[in-house]
Amino acid sequence: MSQRGNLTGNPRQVRDLAAELHSLVQQWNLQHLSGVQLLKSMTAYIRFNVDDVVVCMETLTRQLKLIAELESLRGSNNSPMFLTWPTIKF
């Protein structure tokens, strides 16, 4: 038994609901894929910035160690560590 022509009543409502459900699933998939791309870019951005922070912290640590060494040298010697030139020489 096949019906020709336009559907009416319950069969029409079922078909319309199935079409709407299919459309919503397609929209969901599109939003999901967009969200995945967004999360990937955010993760890459955060990972890049974290690496940058680590490099800056390593530089600061190295500088602090050098300052500590200079202070220990200065503490053991009473003479000035650096003698400056007069401004005429510049």
Residue 82, CA distances (Å) to 15, 70, 78, 79 in order: 89, 11, 12, 9
- Number of Cβ atoms within 10 Å of the Cβ of 56: 10
Residues 6+ apart with CB under 8 A from 70: 81
Task: State the pLDDT at residue 45.
Answer: 83
Q: What is the pLDDT along the chain (90 residues), one digit of tens a residue?
A: 566 778 888 899 999 999 999 999 999 999 999 999 999 998 888 877 888 888 899 999 999 999 888 888 777 777 666 677 766 765
- Is the alpha carbon torsion for 6, 7, 13, 19 positive or negative? negative
Taking CA 48 as the corner, what is the angle to CA 45 and CA 51, rounded to the nearest 5 degrees?
A: 150
